[in-house]
Structure 1
Amino acid sequence: MATGLLALLDDVAALVKVSAASLDDVPTQVAKTTGKVSGIVIDDTAVTPKYVVGLDPSRELSIIYQIAKKSLINKLILLSPAVLLLGFFAPWAIGPILMLGGAYLCFEGYEKVHSMFSKHPDAHHRSEDDLKVITPEELEKTRVKSAVRTDLILSSEIVAITYATVADKALPTQIVVMLCVAVFITIAVYGFVGLVVKADDIGVHMAKKNHHPQVRKMGRGIVKFMPQFLTALSYIGTAAMLWVGAEIIAHGIPFTSHALDNLEHSLANIPVLAWFAKALVCGIGGLILGGIIEKIVVLVRKVV
């Protein structure tokens, strides 16, 4: 009896040692995964500020908090368990899901680029009957729902890429890494977004007369800089959307995956150029693919 108990305790101790050793690798895996999803993080960060444009400034942080809270809930309660179950029962489905999300990103990116360059001459001649009047509260709810819907797509990509990075690790490591990545990225993205949307208010406060002249000058500079920064951020977000979506799809197809790897290896001596060339090729490919998907969507709508 004592011998059996000692053997059981030895097994438990060995299991604890293995789990502890695997968990020691968590920081490395979190850093590795964060690097892989950096493009999606840039996209998420660049897209979100637009959802508070035109709303009451006093509600901006509340809206960002609502989006962040729902984003974290989606990652932790909905997406992570679903991806873990898929990875266990149907690992073959992870790749197609990633590619489907990539196609959506390309489509959204193309739509944004198209809206930047297309002109709608009849947009200024709509009658008042064509415009639906809604209250600020309804507009806020609509914006939050739209932001959460977009974030759900981006979050699913983040969670799927995180799982793909740690798929060969022990289950405790998979769970802890996915938990850490979800929390870290959500806090980083929406913390930065909150700072961006309130930067002009900070600048106005700094520019008040009771501050030092250098502080006032800096505050005025922030106020002048933020509109250009937000415009640049929207362009960066669109470019990241096309780049990330196309790269996800490319890595799911052996031929294009090898082509990207060969391009990267050919410029390995100049890492910055290799990264830029890869991003440029993926961005152009994403724009072309998004245009094709848009034509298909239009055709399906006409048929339906």
Structure 2
Amino acid sequence: MSGLLALLDDIAALAKLAAVQVDDIAAQASRVGVKVAASVIDDTAKAGAKAAGVVIDDTAVTPKYVQHLPAARELPIVWKIARGSVFNKLVILLPVAMLLDNFAPWLMTPLLMLGGMYLCFEGAEKVVHVFSAHDSGHPEPQTLDAARLEEERVAGAIKTDFILSAEIMTITLAAIEAQGVFTRGLVLALVAIGITALVYGAVALLVKADDLGLKMAQAGRLKTTRALGRGIVKGMPAVMTTISTIGTAAMLWVGGSIVLHGLEAFGAGGISHWIEAVAASAAHALPAAESAVEWIVTAALDGVFGLALGLVLVPLVGRVAVPLLRVVWK
């Protein structure tokens, strides 16, 4: 009997030890899980901030694809483009980005620089367009029916989105500090989904804002409501212009910054070091707002560099690259 009691006592002791071990394992797993979650959230926020310039431009560019189409088709068109954007990011670009990250990481900096040059080119082209004497835009062909025009608009928007999405994914991947294929892939997917929701949610609000304003102006019960509706209708062109201007400035800033950091990685950091020195001097001159001044000066000079580079690229692309491509593809 005493032997049985001793055996039961040993079993109880082992059970207590096992419970303690399980509790320790659970606590460790919980801490690791919290750390991983915090790392994912932190990397997602940082990567999203890095891609801000492209996001703003994407938001500013997309509304033009629903112009001159029936109002009832605006939101369905935005939804189609958003679905195409998700496909671009998650099905095509995410696997390609992860393969490059794991098997050819040395390609990431050159690809980032190419993307940065593209942003500088796009930003500079918009600046040139603003100051040009004539409108170089092509009018919509009036012979197309609404359904055909919608299809072409959606296809064009998804192609443009592919280029911008590729830049977003490359910038995001370069900004992720976490290690491990799963974690990096998760952050990349979260940023892709979050940015797509942000961009096309904002686009949906923008394209329907004038309709909402018109409804408020016509059917509002209060005088204040009607006045607000009229203000929305009148103010939307200025809002779109402001967003476009901010998007252009952000493209030049982000593009210039990416190219400068790439040059620095290849040992040509003279311009970057000069910008850092100028920003530091400006910050020391205003110690009350040192960090803000340093950031503003750095961003402004990065943008100036981006504009200068873009102004060089615009004629090169128009007079050299495009004619060569036409010859190759004939």
TM-score normalized with structure 2 length = 0.78
Which aligned pairs between 1:1-304 and structure 2 lie closer than 5 A? 20=33, 21-120=35-134, 133-166=143-176, 168-254=178-264, 255=269, 256-268=271-283, 269=287, 270=289, 271-297=291-317, 298-301=319-322, 304=327
Q: Is the 8 A contact 1:64 1:194 kept in 2?
A: yes
Q: Is the 8 A contact 2:43 2:178 kept in 1?
A: no
Unmatched 5+ stretches in structure 2: 1-17
Relative to 1, partners in 2 of residues 1:99 and 1:153: Cα closer, same or farther, differing over 3 Å? same
Tell me which of the two structures has the higher relative contact order, counting C-alpha pairs closer than 8 angstroms and 6 or more residues apart. Answer: 1
CA distance in 2, matches of 1:171, 1:264: 37
Runs (4 or more) in structure 1 with deviation over 6 Å come to 13-19
Q: What secondary structure is seen at the aligned counterpart in 2 of 1:252?
A: helix
Question: Which deviates more, 293-302 or 224-233?
Answer: 293-302
Task: Tell me the number of residue pairs that the alignment of Structure 1 and Structure 2 aligns.
Answer: 291
Relative to 1, partners in 2 of residues 1:259 and 1:145: Cα closer, same or farther, differing over 3 Å? farther
CA offset digits 1:71-114 (Å, max 9, x no partner): 11111111111111101100010111111111112222222222
Q: Is the 8 A contact 1:19 1:172 kept in 2?
A: no
CA distance in 2, matches of 1:33, 1:209: 44
> Could you tell me which amino acid in structure 1 is paired with residue 261 of structure 2?
H
Q: Is the 8 A contact 1:206 1:218 kept in 2?
A: yes
Q: Is the 8 A contact 1:63 1:140 kept in 2?
A: yes
Q: Is the 8 A contact 2:66 2:74 kept in 1?
A: yes
Q: Is the 8 A contact 1:79 1:156 kept in 2?
A: yes
CA distance in 2, matches of 1:283, 1:99: 15
> Could you tell me which amino acid in structure 2 is paired with residue 296 of structure 1?
L
Relative to 1, partners in 2 of residues 1:302 and 1:163: Cα closer, same or farther, differing over 3 Å? closer
Q: Is the 8 A contact 1:242 1:286 kept in 2?
A: yes
Question: Which deviates more, 135-144 or 37-46?
Answer: 135-144
CA distance in 2, matches of 1:18, 1:93: 35
CA distance in 2, matches of 1:289, 1:78: 30
**Aligned-residue identity in percent:** 44
Aligned-pair CA distance for 1:259: 3.7
Aligned-pair CA distance for 1:64: 1.1
Counterpart for residue 3 of structure 1: none
Q: What secondary structure is seen at the aligned counterpart in 2 of 1:253?
A: helix
CA offset digits 1:209-236 (Å, max 9, x no partner): 4522211111111111111111222222
Structure of higher CA gyration radius? 2
CA distance in 2, matches of 1:85, 1:285: 32
CA distance in 1, matches of 2:96, 2:278: 34
TM-score normalized with structure 1 length = 0.84
CA distance in 1, matches of 2:216, 2:37: 45
Q: What secondary structure is seen at the aligned counterpart in 1 of 2:218?
A: coil
CA distance in 2, matches of 1:154, 1:103: 12
Relative to 1, partners in 2 of residues 1:167 and 1:81: Cα closer, same or farther, differing over 3 Å? farther
